[in-house]
Structure formats: C-alpha cells, structure tokens
Structure 1
C-alpha cells in the first residue's frame, strides 16, 4: 500500500492541531448545480481542444526550432503536456500582424524564417519563410501527437494577394489534413489607424475580401462548398454584428474570428494596464469575452447560420504585457475567461504567446538564439492550458456559470456527454492578502464551496495553487514562489515535476471543498459515465524512470497512490468527524 505521503501527513497533522483555534475563512458558498443545463446552453457543446495556442510568426523559430531536425525538447514537452490530456488534435494558430506583411518563398530551404527589417516596429515584424516552416510544423506534430493548424494569409496590401494564394496552396499541399483553416488578414479594423490604408472601413473591406477569395478559388485554393477560410480577425474597432450587417456574411467561411485584449501597453505603463484588481474581478470577464453587445449579436447570428466563432488571440495586456502579466493572477483569470467563452457560443479560444521576454508569454527559452537548451522559463499563464485540458470532456462539454454571490469566488458547472450529465465543477478563489482591505490582514483567504447531497457519491479534486497573486513573476522577483497543478510544477525543460496528487471525498450526503486564496479547484463528480483524471508523466523528450508512478506515459484513470489517499482520507474523516479531506 505504500507509506503515508509526507505532505499529506503534515497537512493532516496541522489541521488536527488547528481544530481548537482554527481561523474562520471568507465563508461557505452553497453550490446549486442543476441536473441538466438549460436548452439554450445545450446548443453550444465544446470539444476538449477548445483552448489552443496562438503564435506570432516572426518568433516561431525561436520557440519551435530553426529546422525540423532541431526541435527543442522543452517545446515538445510543453505541447505534449496538453496533447496528452485531450482526445482531439491540439489547436495551433500562427499569424499576427507580422504575418500580414510577410512573404512565403518556396525557394527558401535553409531555415524556417528570416527577419527582413531590423528596424521594424516590435509589434509588426515581417519575415520571409519557406517550406522549412511546414517541415517544422509536421515534425512537431509527429513528436507531440495530432495537431491542427490555423494559418494567417496576408491581406493588408494588394501587392500581397498573389503571395496569399501561393501560401494557401503550399499549406494545403504540405499540411494536408493537419490544416484546419486559413485566416484572411489580421486586424483589418486597424489598417487605417496604423497608416496602412487611407479611409478604410467595413464597406471597403468587404469587397476586398471578395477579390482575394476569387483569386484563391481560381487557383484551386478555396472551395465555397467546403470552405477552409476564417476571418475577419478584428480586434478593436469593428464588431462582428456590424460586419454581418454590411454584407460580410455573403461569403462562405469556415470560422468567424476575432481577437481581443482587456487593455494594452502600446504607449507604456499606466494605471489601467497595471491594475491587478481588474483581472481578479469575475464580473469583468463576460463583458470582456463578448466584447460589445453588437459583437455578441454577431456571435449569435453566426451560431444560427452554422458558422462557429473563434477568439483566435487573447491574453492580459496587448503590445507585450505589463508587470502583472506574469503573475499567478493570470492563470486564474485566463481559466475564468476560457470557461466564460465556452458558455458564450464561442467554439474555440487561443492564448497568445510571442517573442522572447514578453511578460505575458506562456514560456520562454533561456535565449532566443538557441531554443534547444534547457533552462526555459514557464509563464504562470501556461498552467491554464493544463487546467482547461483536464476540465473539458472528450465527449463534449457544456459549460455554465453558476453565478455565485461573492466578490472573490467563481463557480462553473461542466456537463459532459454533450451536456447530458453533470461531470465537473470548477471553483476559482481570487481572494488574496494583496487585494483585500487592510482589515483582512490576518484573515484566512480560503473559501469553502458546499456541494449538495446526491450530486455525486465521490468527488476527486485537483488544485492550482501558489503563495499569492504575484507568485511566479519575474517582474516582481517571485519566480522562487512555486505554482503547482495537482502538486506538480513545470520544470526547465517543460517537464512536469513532483508527484501528481488528487484528493478524494465521499459526497453522497453533501461535502465541502475548501479552495485556498488565491487558488482554483477542479472537481470531478466521479461516476461510471464521467471522465477519468489524467495521470502519469506527459514528458516525451526527456528520459524518465518508468518504475516511478509519476513517470509512466500519460493516460486517464485513477492512480494507485490516489486510491490510497482516498482510503486514508475516508478513515481520517470517520475518526475526526470532518467533512474536509486532504
């Protein structure tokens, strides 16, 4: 059966010792999780690959490697950690402003890409790239597992239209079934503001789309009956509702797309883009996700027309992030956003990452000059990808906000089997000493979530936790403060370190789940029809000890060590008469 885990023993001991003078936490929240979602919610099941990653083309080689035979071990591990936890292909979107003015050269066969303007604005870096680009994408898929790609096509200037056709043809030939979609243009609503076009509005853009689509169709790269085109990928000034009203819907699109950030740092730091409070306030999340009433109207119109909407780029602070973008607040916020999007008729969402040392990045190599070395830095927001991958079901999930009445706590219900059965709960606790009033200086910042009787016989719990909202941050000098998911932290080669840990609680008569502040809990309502936790080690590019129960290649199920913890917790529960198990 094995020895009592040290961490569990110490937690048990400290809990028992503290029974007599236990500090009161921020309160108990009663969770009402209806047996079935509403009919409206049932119309929007999402797949387990709902959360993808968005990449800036100009920095892709510094992350994925310069050639197909030199793929960084760390990137293989980062991506396989996610891929091992889902059943559908891992979704990648590659584009950005720079791709809108970059050139595909079929004769460039030395390296993936070459930057072409050393004086380029950091937010708009052009490059030349060739077939090695596709070789690297295919090679990474071979290492990581099934992946699907959404690529940007240049549309900013008419002189790039022919190259867009050339790129579309090459992408279809080189990627085959791995190619999901081609996004026509990037942020066309900023073409005028950024000085690329004069007096450019929706009425100018719509016929330009028609021109490019006709060129693609004439070249055999676009079939309106089986469209592989996505767009308009707006961000700021045009919303989807107004665009559909202006005739954009006349074209056959596979996806409608937009990207959006809560704020930006394009002109430098200010009170808004360094405001932690905004990101730890749940009431800000839904308005951010749907963006504007007219954009949400467009999302719903698209749904009725059978065209899925994707949010192809999101993160905390655009133009490179601020000093709060690499804190523990961000994986809590980004998880909140992803779940809110899943419940808002959005069919996919992509976390954006870009060149070396941008504060909101998911990960950074030790140097952009040689990504094959170990010593990578993991951005706190990367943990969002692991949480969401384990939250959503291979059978399709319907996500609903349970609308708890709390300034700092959030609860989502996740229905599996396409919405037919209650599968999971996600509890987020944003409370932290850094954001609470001074009167809470000595307050226990945890929340207790009470699950009512007859929701589940037994629940399994995994936690995302850290010391405080600023943990893991280079900006605040707190990289030594560990962030853990299910008791594991990401190492310098993208590998998950530590014994994976799940807590089990008997819940037939109701039970409590206490979530530290700040922190997050993923609760599985274990039943014969529910998903099973992912367990094992998802590292693919490093040697590991196959005899270690944390070192077998990943699968879904209940680990032996977890079963022992479950049984031990049950005994302690009976002895202590407690509802909370470790």
Structure 2
C-alpha cells in the first residue's frame, strides 16, 4: 500500500551543522543584570534578558463575547481524539548531560529536578522523559571507569561533522534513573547505539530492562536517520530502505539476546523532515516489524536559529518571527503534515510520538523561546497534537547556551549561590498534565472557538465519556483590558452550579518566567527555583446561571484558562498534600576547564566549561571536558523526606 504524504507547511530544515563554522571565542557566563539601552548582553543564552515587542492588537480584533455549546457526552461529540495520558507533554534530555540535569550518580540526585518531575507526577500520575539524542549512537557500556566516574566522553570518536563524541557509560547511570523513578514515577525512553549495524552493542537495552523494569517505556532505534548522510554517519545514498534493513538487523540481534526479555518496545523511525514518515511507511516498515515496534516517532522543530549561532542557513529576525508563534494556526500547521501518519498509526495500533521538539532548533530565539508567548505556543501545539491523535510529545532540554529550556541547572561552579532557572514552557507541561489528568481516559477536541478565530482557540476534554474540562487561550496582548474576552459555556444537559478556573497568567506575551504565574503561584525567576511552586494559590470560582444554562468564563489578554466542570476532575489533579523534596545542595568543580574555540566550532553542542549541552542540528551535548563525573565533584546534598533506593533496584 502506497501511503500519500500530506504537504508540509513552514518546515525549515537544516540538514547539518558543518565543521569549520567560525567561532569568535567563548561567551562568558555572568550573573544576569539589566542591560542598558544600546548595550549588548554577553552572558549565556539561558539567562538572556531580551524583551521583544508584543504584536499589535489584531485588526479586526477578535470578538470579546462568544458562546461555546457542548454536549455532556462523548458519544454525542464527533471528532474526539483517542484516549490520552496525563504526562502527554514530557521532556527530552541528551544522554551526555544527564549528570548536570538528573544527578551525579544514583546516590546524589538533583533535587530541583525531582521537584519539577513530582509537580507533573502529582497531576498526571507519572512523567515521561526521553534520554538519548545524537550521543546515543556512539554510546558503549563499560563495567567501571577510573576515579569512580559513571560517564566519560570518548574524544577519539569525533569523526563526524558535528563532532559529537561517543560515550562510555557505567551501570551507575541506570541506577540513577531507577532511583528517580522510585521517587517521582518517571518513565523513560532510551536510545540504543546504531552506528555499527554489524556488531550491535545491546548492553543499554539489557541493563535498562533489568534495572528499570516497567519504568522503561521503549528503546529508540536511530536518532534522525534521515540526517545520517549529512552528518557523515552513512553514505550519501542512504535511504529509507537502508534504514529499514538495519532496523531488521537489530531486531534479529535482540531476538538472539536472552538478556533482553522485552522484544516489542522499539521506537522508529524518528525522522526529522529530510524524509517524510511516508517515505519510511512505503517500505513496508510497520507491517514487517509490527511485532517489535512499540511506538512510531518523528522529531520536528518549526524553524531554526542556526544562522545567528553558526552562520548556517537563513537568518530569522526574532522580532519578525514572534507573531508566527502567537496564533492557533502555528500548532495546526505543525501538526498537519502528520495527520496521515496519526491516522495510519491507529490502523496499525501503534502510539505515535513527537519524540523531540521545541520552539526552534539551534537553541531557539532570544525573546521568543524564553517568553510567556512560548508557553502559550507549547500549550496550543501540545493540545493540537493530542487532538490529532499523537500519543505524546517531548520538549527538549538544552544547555546554558540555548534559549528554550524548560529548566536549566546553574553552572556547577555557581551552585553554592545560584538555584535553577525555569523556562516558560515548563508551565506548559504542568498545565497539560492538569488538563489530561491521571486516568489515561481523557479525549480532547479542538472547538474551533469564536468562529475559528486564530487568536482565541479553545479545547474541550472528555474523560470516561463525560465532559470534564475546558481550555481557553487568548494570544492578544492588550494592557487596557479591552481584549479580555468572555466565553459563555452552555451544556446540553445543563451547566453545573459552580466551576473552578485556573489561569496561566502574565501581563504580556513578551514577559519572562519570573512574571508568569500558574493559579497565582510561581517557580521563580533566573537562578531562583528549587522546583517547588511558591506563593498563594489563586483559583477562581465561577457561579453559573443554571436557569439560563450559562457559565461565563473570562480570559485575559493574554491568558490561558482551564475550567474544571466538576469537583472530581479538579480533585484528581490538585492533591491536598503534594509530594516535594526539600534540599540544601551545591556542587563545585575542583578543576574547571575551558574549551578551545576550535573544538567548539565543530561540536554538536554549545557548551563551555562544565555547562550543559543540548542536541539536534547543532544542539547535542559535546562537553568541554573529556568526561562529566561525580569523581571530580564535591557534593553536599541533604534530602528531607526522600529515601534513596540505591542499587537494590
């Protein structure tokens, strides 16, 4: 059967980041301070203070009074999605930087990370995290490393244009993942090496299945194989048929490995746009390997900022790009090319994942990727994927020199006086967790609200066949309040007497995370977060007019609201005593190192000293040191109320 691809909209693809890119020296990381007019910020991108100008109020402006009529029953609501899980929006982390983001080893975990995951878990029941990326392709397991290190970079493997090093991993890495699972119910997607398809290294699969058990969701086979030729990992003639053949060879190797008891959790093809998914489907990939495939996956960013970072590709001015993120059409256009694949995935009975995404590849845009507008974008994009029958999406976590991070640990030499920095799109994952809930039975639909106006979209959520929640957006920034709208909800069986409403709020789409609140609470600004929400909880109660069958829900400009239509749907995602972990912790390297510009120029990660890396098209975690290790780090960490499970897992 030939599968026809739907046309791609606004797909900007950078095939590779070539060696020889000019680098003008390292960008120093300094404490963030206000930048005077005309003065250029020179610190790391994760703390960039750039504020863009919000787009003007649309002309004509959206209606500020409109109705939403819904049925209380899913049976009477055509077009609902497949059942969705609470942790629909998860996170993607490059394997080479787990020591910075997750912890130093199985005994020393990053408690802010635990808190951030616990926030999601308390609402969604679990968290999904992908650990992999470009560095998974050249990873190898070794029993131990000198000085107790649990990870070491193999600089001898820097043979590709992006200079992504291979990795030596010890089993300690997997015990660390297991302890995080025990504390915050994180479930993992991992990647198996795919550089040598004649002699597969399957130890990652063997150990992860033994240690993680049911907390291992699946194993990715090939990260963006459609870019292998451009990255020098395969010949120029490498095709979807070649990938299919290599995938089959791996299946054969797993079948003969008695230490891999689960043989049906593989993930592919994870293409990024150089090939369409249909290019792979048309090889017979799914039909041939259906008994081994646990998930189908793609990876995609809406555009790139590679010219600004590497002088590669086309320049995109952030101010000009900003409006394109602040419309419902952005998410619809990103999802549209995959509608055929999500339809086929249902026929094949396979979950379809967006395995890696964020605002823009090559680190995102200053003033966009770290703005409240990006939170609205990620929310809408995530809900549009859910409504279009994706089964999950991973928001990528990069390094100090990317703008789009959901969360960023401080550099290791600053952790004794700096805490973490939370990006706006973390709030997106938090809100989606509340919208979907822990049941795994939520179905969502795009309401085409307000006559389909692109600035005021809305979604309804049905759970176990019953209408339970409403999600409403307002992309307009209007400090006068004139663009605040009121949506009047009517339900065929009658509205409840009261509903509760939570708001993700900020006064402008341009605001940074320190000016964002979720139901009145915040995670803090730059270097201020320990992963716990602080501030007074502010949940609005709306009294409905049952005689007129109307509930009036206001949404500020800008704003996002979740309306809980019954008490049970609210209680499920608002625990009375949420689990968090208190800590006093810092790490400090005894011997810091600097990175030679020649190494940075050819690396697939933008990282200095002991900073984090990132991934994909110029964003993978090529560290400045030959290793990242607990062996060279002195740590003081106090966990209050958190018990380490240890190797007993």
Asked whether the two chains share a fold, i.e. TM above 0.5, the reply is yes
User: Does the residue aligned with 1:520 lie in a helix, a strand or coil?
Assistant: strand
Deviation sequence 1:363-382 (CA, Å, 0-9, x none): 11121457687511111111
- In structure 2, distance between residues paired with 1:537 and 1:490: 18
Cα RMSD (Å): 2.7
- In structure 2, distance between residues paired with 1:75 and 1:530: 25
| Equivalent residue, structure 2, for 1:100 | 137
| Equivalent residue, structure 2, for 1:286 | 332
Q: Aligned pair 1:363/2:407, yes or no? A: yes
- In structure 1, distance between residues paired with 2:163 and 2:382: 25
- In structure 2, distance between residues paired with 1:57 and 1:207: 26
Structure with the bigger RCO (C-alpha within 8 Å, sep 6+) is 2
| Equivalent residue, structure 2, for 1:266 | 306
- In structure 2, distance between residues paired with 1:91 and 1:81: 13
- In structure 1, distance between residues paired with 2:490 and 2:405: 39
| Equivalent residue, structure 1, for 2:194 | 155
Q: Following TM superposition, by how much is the alpha carbon of 1:34 offset from its aligned partner in structure 2, in angstroms?
A: 2.8
Q: Aligned pair 1:401/2:434, yes or no? A: no
Give the counterpart of 1:322 among 365, 378, 383. 365
The 3 A distance-change label for structure 1 pair 25 and 215 is closer
Q: Following TM superposition, by how much is the alpha carbon of 1:391 offset from its aligned partner in structure 2, in angstroms?
A: 0.7
- In structure 2, distance between residues paired with 1:310 and 1:129: 27
Give the counterpart of 1:233 among 236, 256, 270. 270
For residues 40-119 of structure 1, what are the structure 2 equivalents within 5 Å?
41-42=79-80, 44-87=82-125, 89-108=126-145, 110-117=148-155
Q: Following TM superposition, by how much is the alpha carbon of 1:30 offset from its aligned partner in structure 2, in angstroms?
A: 1.3
TM-score by length of 2: 0.72
The 3 A distance-change label for structure 1 pair 124 and 268 is farther
TM-score by length of 1: 0.80
Q: Following TM superposition, by how much is the alpha carbon of 1:148 offset from its aligned partner in structure 2, in angstroms?
A: 1.3
| Equivalent residue, structure 1, for 2:250 | 212
Number of equivalent positions: 498
Q: Following TM superposition, by how much is the alpha carbon of 1:496 offset from its aligned partner in structure 2, in angstroms?
A: 0.7
The 3 A distance-change label for structure 1 pair 528 and 277 is closer
Give the counterpart of 2:522 among 468, 472, 489. 489
For residues 364-443 of structure 1, what are the structure 2 equivalents within 5 Å?
364-368=408-412, 374-395=418-439, 396-404=441-449, 405=451, 406-417=453-464, 420-433=465-478
Q: Following TM superposition, by how much is the alpha carbon of 1:76 offset from its aligned partner in structure 2, in angstroms?
A: 1.3
- In structure 2, distance between residues paired with 1:373 and 1:67: 22
Give the counterpart of 2:381 among 337, 342, 348. 337
CA contact (8 A) 1:77 1:538 kept: no
Deviation sequence 1:393-440 (CA, Å, 0-9, x none): 3331000000022231110000111xx10000000111015xxxxxxx
User: Does the residue aligned with 1:237 lie in a helix, a strand or coil?
Assistant: coil
Deviation sequence 1:194-252 (CA, Å, 0-9, x none): 2221111112111111111111111135678x501111111112222331221111103
- In structure 1, distance between residues paired with 2:165 and 2:506: 36
CA contact (8 A) 1:26 1:446 kept: no
CA contact (8 A) 2:369 2:404 kept: yes
Give the counterpart of 1:134 among 162, 170, 174. 174
- In structure 2, distance between residues paired with 1:305 and 1:266: 37
- In structure 2, distance between residues paired with 1:335 and 1:528: 23
CA contact (8 A) 2:64 2:483 kept: no
Flag structure 1 segments of 5+ consecutive residues without an equivalent: 1-23, 434-440, 473-478, 545-552, 554-582
User: Does the residue aligned with 1:60 lie in a helix, a strand or coil?
Assistant: helix
